Amino acid sequence: MHPRFAPVELAFAGPATPIPADVEPLRVRFVHADGDTITVPGFWDGDDRYLVRFAPEQEGAWSWESESHAPELDARTGGFDVGPAAPGEHGPVRVAGTYHFAHADGTPFRPVGATAYNWLHQEEPLFTETVDAVAGAGMNKLRFMVFPQAGGYVEHFPELLPFERDADGGWDVTRPVPAFFRRLDEAVRTLGAAGIQAEVLIYNAYDYGRFGLDGLTEEQDAAYLRYLVARLSAFPNVWWSLCNEFDQLDRPDERWDAAGLRLAEIDPHDHPRSIHNLVRLFDHNRPWVTHASLQLGQATEDFGRASLFRDAYRKPVVLDEIKYEGDVPDRWGHLSAEQLVHQFWITTVSGCYASHGESFVIPSGSLHIVEGGPFTGESPARLGFLRGILDEVDGVGLDPVDNWWDDAFVAGVQGSVYVQYLGREAPGEWVFRLPIGWRGVQLEAGDRFEVDVIDTWHMTVAPVGRVFEIDEVAKNDAWARAAAPVALPAGEAIALRIRRVA
Amino acid sequence: MHPRFAPVELAFAGPATPIPADVEPLRVRFVHADGDTITVPGFWDGDDRYLVRFAPEQEGAWSWESESHAPELDARTGGFDVGPAAPGEHGPVRVAGTYHFAHADGTPFRPVGATAYNWLHQEEPLFTETVDAVAGAGMNKLRFMVFPQAGGYVEHFPELLPFERDADGGWDVTRPVPAFFRRLDEAVRTLGAAGIQAEVLIYNAYDYGRFGLDGLTEEQDAAYLRYLVARLSAFPNVWWSLCNEFDQLDRPDERWDAAGLRLAEIDPHDHPRSIHNLVRLFDHNRPWVTHASLQLGQATEDFGRASLFRDAYRKPVVLDEIKYEGDVPDRWGHLSAEQLVHQFWITTVSGCYASHGESFVIPSGSLHIVEGGPFTGESPARLGFLRGILDEVDGVGLDPVDNWWDDAFVAGVQGSVYVQYLGREAPGEWVFRLPIGWRGVQLEAGDRFEVDVIDTWHMTVAPVGRVFEIDEVAKNDAWARAAAPVALPAGEAIALRIRRVA
């Protein structure tokens, strides 16, 4: 009995002469007993070996049949039964509740991501140290590039590269290097086992001509994409990002858009798809984009900003890169840990998500955002703590409650739980007040709430220990006038969680 | 010789029995000597009178021919010659430079709009007082509804209504009331003569069942739209807005979108098209939307907010309604004049535009945003002053210079003119510094600038009177380190204009 969500891998012996990898060597149609059908492309894995990977989401009986121009790979059949998922495996993550994410089994997923662009190309111990650091901090997503990185702060250049060379010394995408891609498979599996979503950065804006992998033609890029998707799509923890800082490359937007549409068409498991920018945002309204992954240096520095992207895009907003905790002179890389954590909480009450990165110059001369390794900084633990608070939300996610105007910028699941962030230097007390959203859940006199005081830096949650009862309701606000204010540790970075109780 | 941009009106005697106005009675094809062709729908104007209005944008010889099912209106022909525009007539306004506006002759247009929803339905002297007040203040756009308003603060209900009644007491859109629409024509002309763009709010969220004009079917709404466009489109100063606060009505977005697509298809003069919200923004990415007209109470209260909508929509952003100067208890209606002016300047350096409204309770019991009249408040003069500053910009408009991250939130035409707003309580001095945008115009040592200190409240422009020379350039900033700081009137609401000089 095969567990739901886990990849089924079918292996075939094909022709002795490998089928060039810009051709789909075979495809397999998987048919569920209820009639649902999914067609999955296969790929060459060296020698005469061809694989097809499929992660069934439905329990029950599946049958399959292959189709190929190669007789060895055509008209093969088989079947398997799928049972409950393994404990802890919730399936692939997709968009839920318009602005949030959830696993296929409905379990909410709140991305609190890390960044190590060149992680895949590191040797041990860096490779495993990175996974341990991210998982140990409680972060649950890692952005990393398939192609190796060049440019500033890069100190290590891999020998294992994705394709064979052609006669002119260029890249032959029809001959992928199986060892390279098996290593990538294993990297994705390793992240999955550690509870980390693998956000695969497909194309590379940081080649700077060193490897020439940014110089592939559009057709070569497409062949590589098909190969990559055929290999990785069945891993439940995959997210696709076309590129980090796409606007650094001199390519028309139409080429990126065509790649995104292609990806949406060929990925049988419908993983999240995005494309990230340096300064000029991609048009995240395009239909293949599942969530707006974007960078805008200012967007999380204050309240009332990032949430505007939700209003415009009507998709989840993930600010992948909000500047980094570190000590480099570049303006993107010297946030204090306190400032980065502060920005994450602003992001949270804006109903958005963000990603972390660390940029202290380490002995190798590199940075964590390049090569990974253990964390140097102090923000990761606080972000894991934030992730824990988010995971206690009973609902798909936090949305700004009174989006039109609310000086307090409260987010929540209306009527159930509210989160308010008081900034890096909270006042000495807080008077109980909740916003009421337009056409939202109406609060009424008699509704009862408990309040937790969250120290976002010291990572404590202190229940106030008394019940607050609403006694005054206006059009956009509700108060508990009879209740004494909540005493706060003035000057600390405080958030409040207000939960409805019976 | 007919002047360019002015409406040509062709009048025809048609059948004695009026053609119902849900049918296009005739259309005229206008052909320029160079071959360009524009087809314009006609409309019934009472009795046996049918009109076609067309505003030619090309000089030269035009010929025309009519087409109709009615023999009296079919195969009529004629011609006219078009010469230069009349002095001061720059033609219809359209989007320019992605985020801005310009007249058809290239003259930039910077909307600084006013709001009087029920203006059209007022008697004299209110009607003319409104026009005089808006023009006198230097504001250049007025939002007003075609259909009469009901609900709060409305004290006057017109007798002249747009359609005849049908046998059941409902509205018969096949029989528009010519007197109503001639009055509307005249209103649009009057605004044009006063230098004011007429932003026509086509459908009505403030009927509340009083007139039942919000209860037309989609087909009736479409017939009305076609009639309205045929009547008004040739007036150069028209802007179309489908609705103010569309989300107050219980209609699927698809119905609004179909109306917008219809409007884009049928308007021969391609005027600006938008749709405005209360809380939930319409999807301004839709292809028929020319600019994002939106309301979000918080969006102009601080820097770093409204500009995000530019990044998302890649269209001009006009915050029509940023709350009003007034004294009503409703949270949308009691800004001080200083606060409203402040928000306009934040909007300006965000590369966006805004609209004004006034909500003091006046002796009639109504508000200026409802019925117009003379202004009570103090903001209009300051907004006219701002409009004058904008009109001195040599270029299509101001764009945030370093959009990624700039604590100073400077907007400008890079290399030419920069505007920085220092807030409602400026510091005592300013040290010369300009941002450099990513892949923008590179500033260099030796570049020379003059600075004007603008008191946004007292409406003064004081040249600093010495030249600043850049002597230090970094990646994102340029300074004139050798120059003494600019002395400012501390505590005043100050903006700076920095202009390149030879």
Write phi, then psi, for B346 (nearest 5 degrees).
-60, -45
B25-64 per-position pLDDT tens digit: 999 999 999 999 999 999 999 999 999 999 999 999 999 9
Nearest CB to B438: which of A279, A299, A405? A279
Q: How many helices (H) and strands (E) does chain A have?
A: 8, 34
The residue count of chain B comes to: 502
Separation between Cα atoms, residue B223 and residue B34, nearest integer Å: 33
Closest CA to B435 of B396, B466, B475, B468: B475
Separation between Cα atoms, residue B319 and residue B340, nearest integer Å: 12
Enumerate chain A positions whose Cβ falls within 8 A of a Cβ in B: 278-279, 281, 283-285, 292, 295-299, 301-302, 304-306, 308-309, 311-314, 323, 331, 403-406, 438-439, 475-476
Sheet holding B433-435, edge to edge: B433-435, B477-479, B472-473
**Which residues of chain B have a CB within 8 Å of the CB of A301?**
304
CATH of domain B401-500: 2.60.40.3950
Question: Is the backbone of residue A45 left (phi > 0), alpha (psi -120 to 50) or beta?
Answer: alpha
Mean pLDDT, rounded, for A312-334: 96
Superfamily of domain A2-83: Immunoglobulins (2.60.40.10)
What is the DSSP track for A237-297? TEEEEEESSGGGS---HHHHHHHHHHHHHH-TT---EE---SSS---TTSTT--SEE---T
Element (H, E) at B258: helix B253-266
pLDDT at A128: 98
Q: What is the pTM of this model?
A: 0.95
Nearest CB to B299: which of A308, A331, A438? A308
Q: How far is A352 from chain B (nearest CA, A)?
A: 14
Nearest CB to A302: which of B304, B312, B404? B304
Burial A139-151 (b: 16+ CB within 10 A, else e): bbbbbbbbbbbbe
Per-residue pLDDT of chain B (502 residues; tens, 9 = 90+): 999 999 999 999 999 999 999 999 999 999 999 999 999 999 999 999 999 999 999 999 999 999 999 999 999 999 999 999 999 999 999 999 999 999 999 999 999 999 999 999 999 999 999 999 999 999 999 999 999 999 999 999 999 999 999 999 999 999 999 999 999 999 999 999 999 999 999 999 999 999 999 999 999 999 999 999 999 999 999 999 999 999 999 999 999 999 999 999 999 999 999 999 999 999 999 999 999 999 999 999 999 999 999 999 999 999 999 999 999 999 999 999 999 999 999 999 999 999 999 999 999 999 999 999 999 999 999 999 999 999 999 999 999 999 899 999 999 999 999 999 999 999 999 999 999 999 889 999 999 999 999 999 999 999 999 999 999 999 999 999 999 999 999 999 999 999 999 9
With cut-offs at 50, 70 and 90, classify the pLDDT of residue A403: confident
| CB B289, CB B252: distance < 8 Å | no
Cβ within 8 Å, pair B404-A476: no
Best A99, A247, A279, A403 residue to mutate vs chain B (most B CBs within 10 Å): A279
Separation between Cα atoms, residue B292 and residue B277, nearest integer Å: 10
Cβ within 8 Å, pair A296-B278: no
What is the rounded average pLDDT for all residues in chain A? 97
| CB A24, CB A105: distance < 8 Å | no
- Report how many Cβ contacts below 8 Å link chain A to chain B: 85
pLDDT at B389: 98
Mean pLDDT, rounded, for A445-471: 98
**Which residues of chain B have a CB within 8 Å of the CB of A477?**
none
Nearest CB to B281: which of A279, A295, A312? A312
| CB B434, CB B468: distance < 8 Å | no
**Which residues of chain A have a CB within 8 Å of the CB of B311?**
281, 296, 309
B2-83 and B401-500 share one fold: yes
Separation between Cα atoms, residue A149 and residue A184, nearest integer Å: 15
A186-206 per-position pLDDT tens digit: 999 999 999 999 999 999 999
Cβ within 8 Å, pair B304-A305: yes
Close Cβ partners of B486 (under 8 Å, ≥ 6 residues apart):
B429, B430, B431, B432, B451, B453, B464, B496
Close Cβ partners of A304 (under 8 Å, ≥ 6 residues apart):
A350, A409, B298, B299, B301, B302, B305
Mean pLDDT, rounded, for A33-52: 97
Map out the domains of chain A as residue ranges.
Answer: 2-83, 93-391, 401-500
Cβ within 8 Å, pair A301-B305: no
| Residue A188, SS3 per DSSP | helix
Nearest CB to B313: which of A278, A312, A403? A312
Measured CA distances, B459 to A431, B109, B110, B397, B398 (Å): 40, 21, 18, 21, 20
Best B245, B257, B279 residue to mutate vs chain A (most A CBs within 10 Å): B279
Strands A325-326 and B93-96: unpaired
pLDDT at B403: 87
> What percent of chain A has pLDDT above 70?
100
CA dihedral sign of residues A322, A328, A329, A330: negative
B427-437 per-position pLDDT tens digit: 999 999 999 99
Separation between Cα atoms, residue B464 and residue B86, nearest integer Å: 39
Closest CA to B312 of B354, B283, B288: B283
| Residue A127, SS3 per DSSP | helix
Beta strands in A312-458 (DSSP E): 317-319, 325-326, 353-355, 358-359, 399-400, 411-413, 417-421, 429-430, 433-435, 448-455
Closest alpha carbon within chain B to A440 = B279
Tokens of B272: 């600006």
Close Cβ partners of B466 (under 8 Å, ≥ 6 residues apart):
B483
Close Cβ partners of A267 (under 8 Å, ≥ 6 residues apart):
A229, A233, A240, A273
CATH of domain B93-391: 3.20.20.80
Separation between Cα atoms, residue B367 and residue B327, nearest integer Å: 10
